[in-house]
């Protein structure tokens, strides 16, 4: 049995969306509280994440943490709905690259922009958001989704993140991005996930 450790309106919400896409049975274990930037909250001792963060996932006794690892684990474990290219698929390389890029480049890029950290080009392991967006835009111009014709779990991570920031000083709203986010969030699995958000 899959159990998603979830706290409403955090990064774990994306995995309700993914699990709905996969159409497999799962349970949601609500994380009672997480640490908040203002110093409130705290680590829930029942949350198996090593740092008390949201999300975490258990598959029987197997613990999976880190959003991109959870995405890859789930789409490999449940390949039937084709939500992530598996080993042997021509898109597998692009899929794992985008997952790693999301965690290792995109999130640090936006976090450093938000914190106003100046990242000198050429020294950090990531690039600034303008370079990220040039790559994202060029990719989305080729196909409706990041991997081309087919929707995958990387679109869940990226489109839900863009939804949060689009229109703020951190991310300009453009017809291309707006169309992409709208396409991903129009999926019935997203609506079903929203209904379970507060479970």
Ligand X SMILES: N[C@@H](CCC(=O)N[C@@H](CS)C(=O)NCC(=O)O)C(=O)O
Binding residues vs ligand X (CB under 6 A): 10-11, 34-35, 51-55, 66-67
48 or 148, CB closer to ligand X? Answer: 48
**Whole-number Å distance between alpha carbons of 169 and 141:** 23
Is 35 or 183 the residue whose CB approaches ligand X more closely? 35
> CB of 66: closest distance to ligand X in angstroms?
5
Q: What is the C-alpha R_g of the chain?
A: 17
Contacts of 42 (CB under 8 A, 6+ apart): 33, 34, 35, 52
Q: Could you tell me the smallest distance in angstroms from the CB atom of residue 35 to ligand X?
A: 4
Sign of CA dihedral 159, 163, 165, 167: positive
Closer to ligand X by CB, 164 or 195: give it. Answer: 164
**Least separation in angstroms between CB 42 and ligand X:** 9
Tell me, rounded to whole angstroms, the distance of Cα 170 from its chain centroid: 18
């Amino acid at each position: 049995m899959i159990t998603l450790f979830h706290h409403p309106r955090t990064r774990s919400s994306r995995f309700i969306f993914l699990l709905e896409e996969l159409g497999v049975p799962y349970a949601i274990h609500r994380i009672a509280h997480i640490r908040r930037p203002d110093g409130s909250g705290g680590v829930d001792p029942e949350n198996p994440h090593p740092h008390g963060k949201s999300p975490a996932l258990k598959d029987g006794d197997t613990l999976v943490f880190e959003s991109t690892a959870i995405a890859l684990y789930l789409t490999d474990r449940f390949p039937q709905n084709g939500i992530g290219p598996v080993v042997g698929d021509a898109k597998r390389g692009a899929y794992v690259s985008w997952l790693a890029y999301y965690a290792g480049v995109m999130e640090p890029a936006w976090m450093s922009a938000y914190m106003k950290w100046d990242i000198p080009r050429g020294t950090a392991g990531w690039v600034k958001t303008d370079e990220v967006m040039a790559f994202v835009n060029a990719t989305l111009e080729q196909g409706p989704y990041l991997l081309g014709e087919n929707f995958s779990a990387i679109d869940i991570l990226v489109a839900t993140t863009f939804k949060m920031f689009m229109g703020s000083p951190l991310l300009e709203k453009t017809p291309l991005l707006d169309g992409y986010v709208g396409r991903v969030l129009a999926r019935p699995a997203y609506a079903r996930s929203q209904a379970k958000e507060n479970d």
